């Protein structure tokens, strides 16, 4: 049954969680990001090129990302709001996660079996839809269960799982041929669901009013002074994520068309290894420090600036040694950012319907994919035909520097969080 509104704030008093609780609570982040790392950075560029040819690859890859992201932007807040209203004795998040993960796996395997571009596109649309069915419910678990004093630490664990996912996702994508990658990744996704179902405990939601469509729709009109900080965190995250997606979507093509690497998958994997090693040096320590010092904004700001300066190196580098240096610096900033920005937004949540608000906030991660894809389409249609691949991709990465810089500086507009 779906309830009209939910005053539920999670486990009364939100007791401190042990290491085992934090590991199991954040493990789904590993399985989900294993999927996205291998798929976006390595598999999709190669698969699209295989289906449509080299000359059409940039435009078609942008179309896949654009259409899929529109689905994700619509799905995240809607299914987040639904998750806030589910009434199960086992909790309100995990049942929806089960539906989402199973659907995600089905459409993910469809992408693997795709023999034409249309089939591949349908598969990706389904992945985006069901991934957000599960993800929008999952994002409500941490504000539900983690006390304020541990949010930075919990975000640090999420960041650590994310860095491990980068290695595993890239390793699967580069080492397994044929359907091997697709099956192995599907198993990891299923494992993430099982860990959450078996080891994460939700309190029983209280009785609430019956579902009312009018109230449900009005709940999406989030406005008022209590949302000011929330929206500033949204804007800054939006800008940083758009810069990140431009790098992710077109890194493989940058290496092939600008750096002259004929088989970029292996090089992408090495770059990810360098990035992950340095990110692991900062991710847990930054999350812990943000709890101890209460200075989340400063850490987020410096992390974003470092990512921006690192991306600027791609514009001027002509040797792979410089690219690896840029990746190492980017990893330090990325690890710090992932372990503090999530805690920052949880601190600004103004309502009790946490999954709905987190679903809306989640569009600050997915909606930038639309603009990143639009930038790619523009480059494929205008810049590359007139000025070539090298200038096109270097100018594209110069844009990421501006996005990271703006996203970092504007964090100072958040007032109620230190």
411: left (phi over 0), alpha (psi -120 to 50) or beta: alpha
Q: Per mean pLDDT, which range of 60-69, 215-224, 375-384 is the poorest? A: 215-224
User: Which residues, at least 6 apart from 24, have a Cβ–Cβ distance to it below 8 Å?
Assistant: 195, 196, 199, 200
- Joined together, the tokens standing for residue 246 give 């431009």
Residue with tokens 């600004």: 348
pLDDT tens column, 367-416: 887 777 777 777 766 777 777 777 778 888 888 899 999 999 998 888 77
pLDDT tens column, 152-174: 788 788 878 888 898 899 899 98
**Is the pLDDT higher at 293 or at 401?**
401
- pLDDT over 50 at 136, yes or no: yes
pLDDT of residue 213: 58
**Is the pLDDT higher at 357 or at 8?**
357
Q: Per mean pLDDT, which range of 12-21, 79-88, 311-320 is the poorest? A: 12-21
Q: Per mean pLDDT, which range of 69-83, 167-181, 195-209, 247-261 is the poorest? A: 195-209
pLDDT of residue 7: 35
Show the CA angle centred on residue 264, arms to residues 259 and 265, nearest 5°: 155
pLDDT tens column, 226-255: 778 888 888 998 999 888 888 877 888 888
**Rounded distance between C-alpha atoms, residue 111 and residue 27, angstroms:** 25
pLDDT of residue 224: 63
Grade residue 121 by pLDDT with cuts at 50, 70 and 90.
very high
Q: Per mean pLDDT, which range of 60-64, 215-219, 354-358 is the poorest? A: 215-219
Grade residue 35 by pLDDT with cuts at 50, 70 and 90.
very high
User: Which residues, at least 6 apart from 342, have a Cβ–Cβ distance to it below 8 Å?
Assistant: 142, 151, 155, 158
Q: Taking residues 180-195, report their average pLDDT.
A: 97
**Rounded distance between C-alpha atoms, residue 161 and residue 167, angstroms:** 10
pLDDT of residue 218: 61
- pLDDT over 70 at 14, yes or no: no
Compute CA 411 distance to the chain's CA centroid, rounded to the nearest angstrom. Answer: 19
pLDDT of residue 190: 98
Are 322 and 328 within 8 A, CB to CB?
A: no
User: Which residues, at least 6 apart from 388, have a Cβ–Cβ distance to it below 8 Å?
Assistant: none
Q: Taking residues 101-126, report their average pLDDT.
A: 96
Most confident of 122-136, 328-342, 378-392: 122-136
**Rounded distance between C-alpha atoms, residue 194 and residue 310, angstroms:** 38
- pLDDT over 70 at 353, yes or no: no
Grade residue 325 by pLDDT with cuts at 50, 70 and 90.
very high
For the chain, report the end-to-end CA distance as a whole number of angstroms.
39
**Is the pLDDT higher at 417 or at 410?**
410
**Rounded distance between C-alpha atoms, residue 188 and residue 181, angstroms:** 11
**Rounded distance between C-alpha atoms, residue 252 and residue 272, angstroms:** 12
Most confident of 51-55, 82-86, 111-115, 285-289: 111-115
The three-state (H, E, C) secondary structure of the chain, written as one string: CEECCCCCCCCCCCCCCCHHHHHHHHHHHHHHHHHHHHHHHHHHHHHHHHHHCCCCHHHHHHHHHHHHHHHHHHHHHHHHHHHHHECCCCCCCHHHHHHHHHHHHHHHHHHHHCCCHHHHHHHHHHHHHHHHHHHHHHCCHHHHHCCHHHHHHHHHHHHHHHHHHHHHHHHHHHHCCCCHHHHHHHHHHHHHHHHHHHHCCCCCCCCCCECCHHHHHHCCCCCCHHHHHHHHHHHHHHHHHHHHHHHHHHHHHHHHHCCCCCCHHHHHHHHHHHHHHHHHHHHHHHHHHHHHHCCHHHHHHHHHHHHHHHHHHHHHCCCHHHHHHHHHHHHHHHHHHHHHHHHHHHHHCCCCCHHHHHHHHHHHHHHHHHHHHHHHHHHHHHHHHHHHHHHHHHHHHHHHHHHHHHHHHHHHHCCCCC
Grade residue 2 by pLDDT with cuts at 50, 70 and 90.
very low
Q: Per mean pLDDT, which range of 34-43, 209-218, 293-302, 376-385 is the poorest? A: 209-218
Q: What is the mean pLDDT of the chain?
A: 82
Global model pTM greater than 0.85: no
Show the CA angle centred on residue 345, arms to residues 341 and 19, nearest 5°: 70
Q: Please say whether the structural domain 19-200+223-413 has been given the CATH code 3.40.50.2300.
A: no
User: Which residues, at least 6 apart from 206, have a Cβ–Cβ distance to it below 8 Å?
Assistant: 7, 8
pLDDT of residue 298: 85
Grade residue 354 by pLDDT with cuts at 50, 70 and 90.
low
- pLDDT over 50 at 10, yes or no: no
- Joined together, the tokens standing for residue 113 give 């079996």
Residue ranges per structural domain of the chain: 19-200+223-413
pLDDT of residue 57: 80
Q: Taking residues 207-215, report their average pLDDT.
A: 59
pLDDT of residue 199: 92
pLDDT of residue 206: 55
Q: Per mean pLDDT, which range of 2-11, 60-69, 266-275 is the poorest? A: 2-11
């Amino acid at each position: 049954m779906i309830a009209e509104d939910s005053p539920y704030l999670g486990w009364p008093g939100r007791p401190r969680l042990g290491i085992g609780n934090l590991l199991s609570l954040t493990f789904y982040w590993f399985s989900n990001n294993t999927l996205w790392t291998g798929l976006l950075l390595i598999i999709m560029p190669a698969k699209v090129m295989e289906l449509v040819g080299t000359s059409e690859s940039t435009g078609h890859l942008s179309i896949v990302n654009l259409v899929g992201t529109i689905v994700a932007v619509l799905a995240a807040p809607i299914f987040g709001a639904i998750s806030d209203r589910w009434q199960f004795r086992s909790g309100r998040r995990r049942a929806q996660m089960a539906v989402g993960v199973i659907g995600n796996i089905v459409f993910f395997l469809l992408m693997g079996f795709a023999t034409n571009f249309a089939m591949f596109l349908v598969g990706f649309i389904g992945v985006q839809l069901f991934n957000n069915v599960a993800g929008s419910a999952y994002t409500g678990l941490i504000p539900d269960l983690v006390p304020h004093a541990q949010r930075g630490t919990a975000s640090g664990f999420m960041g650590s799982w994310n860095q491990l996912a980068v290695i595993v996702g890239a390793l699967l994508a580069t080492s397994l041929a044929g359907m091997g990658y697709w099956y192995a990744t599907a198993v990891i996704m299923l494992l993430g669901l099982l860990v959450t179902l078996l080891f994460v405990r939700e309190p029983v939601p209280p009785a609430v009013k019956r579902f009312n469509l009018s109230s449900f729709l009005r709940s999406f009109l989030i406005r008022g002074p209590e949302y000011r900080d929330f929206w500033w965190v949204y804007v800054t995250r939006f800008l940083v994520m758009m810069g990140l997606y431009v790098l992710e979507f077109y890194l493989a093509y940058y290496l092939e068309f600008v750096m002259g690497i004929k088989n970029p998958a292996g090089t992408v994997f090495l770059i990810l290894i360098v990035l992950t090693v340095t990110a692991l040096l900062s991710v847990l320590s930054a999350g812990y420090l943000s709890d101890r010092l209460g200075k989340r904004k400063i850490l987020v700001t410096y992390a974003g600036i470092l990512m921006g300066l690192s991306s600027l190196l791609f514009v001027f580098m002509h040797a792979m040694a410089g690219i690896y240096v840029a990746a190492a610096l980017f990893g330090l900033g990325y690890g710090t950012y992932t372990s503090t920005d999530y805690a920052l937004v949880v601190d600004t949540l103004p309502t009790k319907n946490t999954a709905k608000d987190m679903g809306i906030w989640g569009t600050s991660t997915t909606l930038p994919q639309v603009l990143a894809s639009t930038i790619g389409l523009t480059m494929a249609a205008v810049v590359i035909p007139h000025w070539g691949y090298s200038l096109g991709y270097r100018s594209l990465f110069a844009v990421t520097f501006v996005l990271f810089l703006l996203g970092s500086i504007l964090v100072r507009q958040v007032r109620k969080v230190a």
